[in-house]
Amino acid sequence: MKKNRNCFLGICSLLLILTGCWDVVNIEDRGFIIGNSIDLVDSANSDQPELLVTNQIVIGSGIPSAANEGGDKKAFINFKTTGKSIYKMEEEIATISNNTPFYEHLTTLIVSEKVAEKERLFTNLLDTYLRNVNLRRGIQVVIAKNEANKVLEYTTPDFPLPAMHIEEMLERGSRETGLLSPTTLGDIEEYQLNNNSYVLPYLELKDVLSYQAGAVFHGPKDKMVGLFNMDDMLALSLFRGEKTTKIIEAPFKDNTFTLQINRLNSTLNVDSSDISAIKINLTLEVEGIIKETFMTEDLSSQKVVESVQDEMSKEISKRIKETFTKAQKEFGTDVFRIWQELETKHYEKWQKIKDNWEEGEYYFKDAQLIVDVVTEIYSIGAINRTR
């Protein structure tokens, strides 16, 4: 009896060890997938188009480090699979790679422009990524011009891993310019659930990989509708009052000067008394430093500074209006998030118009924008004039 009990306990404890141990995969046996790209192969069947998914797997020994020169070895392999279901394709990776695919370090998802432009397809693709618990919500999503898988092959000497390079580039870029903050999978889900329009970073691979634009997504239509260039992005950022350092140049009497915006305060007021012509009042208070001039005027004079400030205000309001018109008339997307103001401050009106804001009756299209900019030059820099 006692012997049996001991035996039983022994077997039970073995089970305990076994259940834990069969999940063990040593770190060197894992294939760290750091980047994914999705391209469209065949769009003949519009319901279920065929896709090309590229998985970038790290080869650790190829990464140059102090101990390991790296040599001619590549730091990554791109595995390409085609098919209709993303998840099925990911499973296929396991059959061609000698390592267990591991998605927890996936940092970037690059989606081809062509995929994004197809209605509903982009959302459906993201569903796979959001549904799978092994994938993180912090994955950065970018749109690429033409073929997305080419972007995953772009390396620089100091960044041997393309996916990490893109992540780093987006982070550094947004910090420096104050524009195009990286958008994660979690953010996009939030936009999609709210049926909002949003802007994603847009990459272009020519000689170098650059990102000079934003891809505008139309919320209700659920597809990419166009591009915002950098000026549009700047205007969008100013409109939203995002508190990051920005550089803006403005003309002044045949010359130009550059202002670095250090402080920005934007106040949005919406007058919704007439829903067919909603009035949007934007007040911007801008404070900045003159970084660069091609002028000969004496900046130490109050008058000159005041006229420079006026010019700047005009320039800013002009740019915002241009971009607003572009978004309103060309794309019909409220990327300025005026709906948010309506929802929080004019809730009853919003309930009436919310289904007809960016579609149907299109109340957004008839909205009028009034921009009021006050610029203050905080410092003209260390010198007055060079000559």
Partner 1 sequence: MVRSIMNRRKRKKNSQPQQHKYPQNLSKQLTSNVNNLKQILGEPHDLKIRQLKLGEGNITCAITYIDGLVDSKTVQVSILANLENAKQLPTEGKELFQHIYNKLLSVIHVEKGKTLDEITLPLLSGSTLLYIDGVETALIVDTSGGEMRSIEEPVTETLIRGPREGFIENLQTNLAIIRRHIKDPNLRFKTHQTGRRSKKNLVVAYVDGIVNPALVKEVERRLQSIDIDIVLESGYVEGWIEDSFLSPFPQIMNSERPDKVVAALMQGKVAILLEGTPFALLMPINFSNILQSAEDRYERWIIGTLLRGLRYFAAFLSIFLPALYVSLLTLQPGMLPSMLAFSIAASREGVPFPPLIEAFMMLFTMELLQEAGARLPQTIGQTIGIVGGLVIGEAAVQAGIVSPIMVIIVALTAISNFAIPAYSIAISFRIIRFGFLFASGIFGLYGIILAYIMVNIHFVNLKSFGVPYSTPFAPFFKRDFHDVIVRSPIHQIKDRPEYLQPQDTVSMDNQGEKK
Residues 6+ apart with CB under 8 A from 161: 34, 35, 56, 58, 63, 75, 76, 155
CB of 170 to partner 1, least distance (A): 15
Distance CA 148, CA 127 (A): 19
Closer by beta carbon to partner 1, 27 or else 208: 27
Q: Which of 164, 170, 320, 377 binds partner 1 (CB under 8 A)?
A: 164
Q: Does residue 102 interact with partner 1 by CB under 8 A? A: yes
Helix (H, G, I), strand (E, B) or coil at 18: helix
Which tokens sit at 180? 């195009």
Closer by beta carbon to partner 1, 40 or else 135: 135
CB of 184 to partner 1, least distance (A): 15
Which tokens sit at 247? 């550089």
CB of 189 to partner 1, least distance (A): 20
Are 58 and 32 in contact by the 8 Å Cβ rule? The answer is yes
Distance CA 242, CA 322 (A): 19
x/- track of binding to partner 1 for residues 119-148 (CB under 8 A): -----------------x------------
CB of 167 to partner 1, least distance (A): 9
Q: Does residue 254 interact with partner 1 by CB under 8 A? A: no
- DSSP string spanning 236-278? HHHHHT--S-EEEEEEETTEEEEEEEEEEEEEEEEE-SSGGG-
Closer by beta carbon to partner 1, 24 or else 44: 24
Query: How many CB atoms neighbour CB 156 within 10 A?
Result: 11
Q: Between vectors from CA 91 to CA 88 and to CA 95, what angle results, nearest 5°?
A: 130
Site for partner 1 (CB under 8 A): how many residues?
26
Q: Which of 45, 65, 273, 344 binds partner 1 (CB under 8 A)?
A: 65
Distance CA 229, CA 242 (A): 18
Closer by beta carbon to partner 1, 107 or else 266: 107
Closer by beta carbon to partner 1, 171 or else 322: 171
Are 69 and 160 in contact by the 8 Å Cβ rule? The answer is no
Query: How many CB atoms neighbour CB 301 within 10 A?
Result: 11
Site for partner 1 in 2-61 (CB under 8 A): 16-17, 20-21, 23-28, 30, 32, 34, 58, 60-61
| Beta-bridge partners for 228 | 214
CB of 7 to partner 1, least distance (A): 17
Q: Which of 1, 12, 44, 67 binds partner 1 (CB under 8 A)?
A: 67
CB of 19 to partner 1, least distance (A): 8
Residue type, 169: M
Q: Which helix (H) or strand (E) holds 101?
A: strand 100-102
Helix (H, G, I), strand (E, B) or coil at 308: helix
CB of 100 to partner 1, least distance (A): 11
Which tokens sit at 306? 């005041």
Closer by beta carbon to partner 1, 25 or else 370: 25
Q: Between vectors from CA 319 to CA 306 and to CA 176, what angle results, nearest 5°?
A: 85
The stretch near partner 1 (CB under 8 A) out of 62-70, 282-290, 312-320, 358-366 is 62-70
Q: Does residue 171 interact with partner 1 by CB under 8 A? A: no
Q: Which of 42, 91, 104, 231 binds partner 1 (CB under 8 A)?
A: 104
Task: Give residues in contact with partner 1 (CB under 8 A).
Answer: 16-17, 20-21, 23-28, 30, 32, 34, 58, 60-61, 63, 65, 67-68, 102, 104-105, 107, 136, 164
